[in-house]
Amino acid sequence: MAETTYTVEGMTCGHCATSVREEVSGLDGVHQVDVDVESGRVTVTSDAPLTTDAVAAAVTEAGYRLVA
């Protein structure tokens, strides 16, 4: 199992967190996605480390931006 924390810009509410959680959860091998709107932190637990590009694409699909 791998756990990685990312920073997402633009989230302001629970709906934002749900959107990000749903998109990132759709990536292969993802078991859990924890979102902290206040800090912008998104912690992903997956079978193996995910590529940053894959996570960035999922976050973008949700309408937000992954901060490098």
Identify the bridge partners of residue 3 per DSSP, sorted by sequence position.
45
What is the Cα–Cα distance from 3 to 60, expressed in whole angstroms?
20
> Residue 24's pLDDT is what?
98
> Residue 4's pLDDT is what?
97
Which H/E stretch holds residue 32?
Answer: strand 30-36
- Mean pLDDT (the chain) is 97
- Which parts of the chain sit beneath pLDDT 70? none
Of 43, 34, 40, 33, the C-alpha closest to 64 is: 40
What is the Cα–Cα distance from 41 to 14, expressed in whole angstroms?
13
> Residue 62's pLDDT is what?
98
> Residue 15's pLDDT is what?
97
